[in-house]
A and B are shown apart, each in its own frame.
Chain A
Amino acid sequence: SQQGEEDPQALSIQEGENATMNCSYKTSINNLQWYRQNSGRGLVHLILIRSNEREKHSGRLRVTLDTSKKSSSLLITASRAADTASYFCATSGSARQLTFGSGTQLTVLP
């Protein structure tokens, strides 16, 4: 069964606005990763945050991790139409396998 739950399931915003997606998980992790998937395509790795890190930035992406609450958030600033995609969090634990969240479908309107 999937470990992670993401909310919202779907998010629609205007170009230029910020988009925030949240991910919760159930067991201890080594790291948490965020991926993007365009419709009908494979996954693109966005960012990895280790369990001992609290925040990480990469370009317009900002990821936070709260291991006490077993949650993470992905913030995309100044969104563009090209950011329209599904976003998944994935946790990696002792087995070093990825367990994916349910995903958030982001639509950025031009």
Chain B
Amino acid sequence: GAVVSQHPSRVICKSGTSVKIECRSLDFQATTMFWYRQFPKQSLMLMATSNEGSKATYEQGVEKDKFLINHASLTLSTLTVTSAHPEDSSFYICSARVGRAYTDTQYFGPGTRLTVL
């Protein structure tokens, strides 16, 4: 099946630093990738939709200057949390969509646990 990887799986950083998270589709090409944030014991909230070669589309309330998304190729999207603060601590999950029909499926990465001290 389709595999999506994320790196790193866990990161701890000091407040004010920037953190980059990579999302890769390993055995397929993904024209669209998604970034979600999940707080403890809560559901996934879509942050942005990333299309290869174009600017990401951010959901309402998500600061695009804070969460920089780059989708440089059909197999790689990156999320950079700039000037991270403790409230940015969360579980960040990416997914990649395969197919173009309405039955297309998203395959999820294993997630990245970000802790900002």
Contacts and interface: CB of A to CB of B under 8 A. Distances in A.
Interface stretch (B71-79, B81-89, B98-106): B98-106
A100 B44 contact: yes
Q: In which size bucket is the chain B interface?
A: 20 to 34
B28 interface: no
Q: Interface of chain A, helix or strand or loop or mixed?
A: strand
A98 B110 contact: no
Interface of A: 2, 30-31, 33, 35, 40-45, 48, 50, 88, 92, 96-103, 105
A6 B82 CA distance: 34
Contacts, number: 55
B46 A43 contact: no
Nearest to A33: B105
Interface in B3-38: 4, 6, 34
Contacts of A103: 42-43
A27 B9 CA distance: 34
Given A40-B91, A40-B111, A40-B113, A45 B45 contact: no
B67 interface: no
Contact of B104 (A35, A43, A96, A102): A96
